[in-house]
Amino acid sequence: MEKIHSLTGMMDLIGQRNNKTQIADRIFLTEKILRNIFQNYSLSEIRTPALEDENLFKRSVGDSSDIVNKELYSFLDKNDKSIVLRPEGTAGVIRSIIEKKIDGDNHKLWYLGAMWRYERPQKGRFRQFYQAGVEILGYEEGIAELEMMSLICSINRELDIKNSVIKINHLGNKDCKKSFCKDLIDYLKPMSAELDKKDLDRLNQNPLRILDSKNPETQNILKDAPVIADYLPQESKDLLELIKDTFSNDCDISIDYKLVRGLDYYTGLVFEAVSEELGAQDAYLGGGRYDELCSQLGGKSLPAIGMAIGIERLASLVNIPENNKTLISFIILSSKIEQKTYKIAHNLRLLNNKINIDIQLSEGSLKSKLRRANKDNASYALIIGEEELKSNTVIVKPLLDENSEQSIMDLNELDDFVKSLT
């Protein structure tokens, strides 16, 4: 029969017992460590639905953005309502806060979940991907910016991310954004014949995004264009310097006045963490301040700053030492005695939760089960056959040290032995 395949750009993630050469295991481990870091920063978890009203993203991420314009997974439901698979998490979080009428309070939130964008798949770019996001709500520009940068530095440190640069920029206030955009348009208009269709669209819809163009000809034209640094109020420049000063002993932070983000809702600080190890899709995290989104979506005026991490990209960069938790491979040699033997294994698990116990569930010879234990890097094999069960003993075979002999222990000795393992 014809086989059914997964959809283009969508990955199955199947764990293979902490095998860090596998992207799935790297992703699961990365998520686990991120959850711990979020807890350390005293953030609360929020989970919003994967499906949302299409208008939510039109009014937040923006009609002119690629994400909404070209990449939305949108369809009509059975009631002819236009719904979408969320392309990002921020808009849903703010919708939820408004709906619950808690948009007048402060919140420090994190989330983790799948997002969907109908992009052309390539290395590091998928149609279904995972994001871990953080949204700090209710705090004016200032300390929240430092908290966000501190969090990013902690993530880099704890996951031992090498060759990371955190690019930061400021989009200034409304007036400066307006006059910068006007001067940028005035500069580019006479050269519009030299722009490709994508950049021409950007010029008409959201001129700031031209700065982000990947076209070398556009970048060449931009060499003499006005730069946002000349329009920024001093306090915005001071903030960028303050961030650099505060964290530069821990992270590589660089001010990049050309950094603009692909979503329309940003108003102040914007940032992206990039690594050259990722290739063309080099950003593994991005975010910024978005003080107007809540009121734009019908809520109160709620200052906000947030970021989202691309889990697949971050996971491919992590350098985490081997998990050296002791693994015991429990080998049962007869199916007749499984239940009684299983009780022994269960009790061992109660005695010491710092070690991992893998009960080999499959049928097979001792040889094949020992081969499997060695492959899994188990420290010990515990072997029980009918003989051992009759005499209330277990064979303990050390696997990592070739010079150690196997021994026979009675069940009390076994308890003490397992308790002593770390």
Binds ligand HAM (CB under 6 A): choice among 38, 110, 111, 126: 126
Site string for ligand HAM, 289-308 (x = CB under 6 A): -x---------------xxx
Nearer to ligand HAM, 29 or 327 (CB): 29
Told to check if 125 binds ligand HAM by CB under 6 A, we report: yes
Nearer to ligand HAM, 93 or 344 (CB): 93
Rounded Cα distance, 160 and 154, in Å:
9
Binds ligand HAM (CB under 6 A): choice among 286, 299, 395, 414: 286
Told to check if 283 binds ligand HAM by CB under 6 A, we report: yes
Q: How far is the CB of 263 from ligand HAM (least distance, A)?
A: 6
Residues in the chain: 422
Told to check if 88 binds ligand HAM by CB under 6 A, we report: yes
Binds ligand HAM (CB under 6 A): choice among 52, 66, 135, 388: 135
Rounded Cα distance, 210 and 185, in Å:
10
Q: 143-158 vs 234-247: helix axis angle to the nearest 10?
A: 30
Binds ligand HAM (CB under 6 A): choice among 172, 299, 303, 310: 310
Report the site for ligand HAM in 245-274 (rule: CB under 6 A).
262-263
Q: How far is the CB of 188 from ligand HAM (least distance, A)?
A: 24
Q: How far is the CB of 322 from ligand HAM (least distance, A)?
A: 26
Nearer to ligand HAM, 67 or 328 (CB): 67
Report the site for ligand HAM in 149-178 (rule: CB under 6 A).
none
Binds ligand HAM (CB under 6 A): choice among 284, 330, 380, 417: 284
Q: Which one of the spans 73-81, 119-127, 354-362, 394-402 is the region binding ligand HAM (CB under 6 A)?
A: 119-127
Q: How far is the CB of 316 from ligand HAM (least distance, A)?
A: 11
Told to check if 206 binds ligand HAM by CB under 6 A, we report: no
Binds ligand HAM (CB under 6 A): choice among 131, 156, 275, 329: 131
Nearer to ligand HAM, 263 or 331 (CB): 263
Nearer to ligand HAM, 317 or 409 (CB): 317
Q: Using CB atoms within 10 A of its CB, is residue 133 exposed (0-12), middle (13-18) or buried (19+)?
A: buried
Binds ligand HAM (CB under 6 A): choice among 66, 103, 292, 312: 312
Binding residues for ligand HAM (CB under 6 A): 88-90, 117, 119, 125-126, 129, 131, 133, 135, 262-263, 283-288, 290, 306-308, 310, 312-313
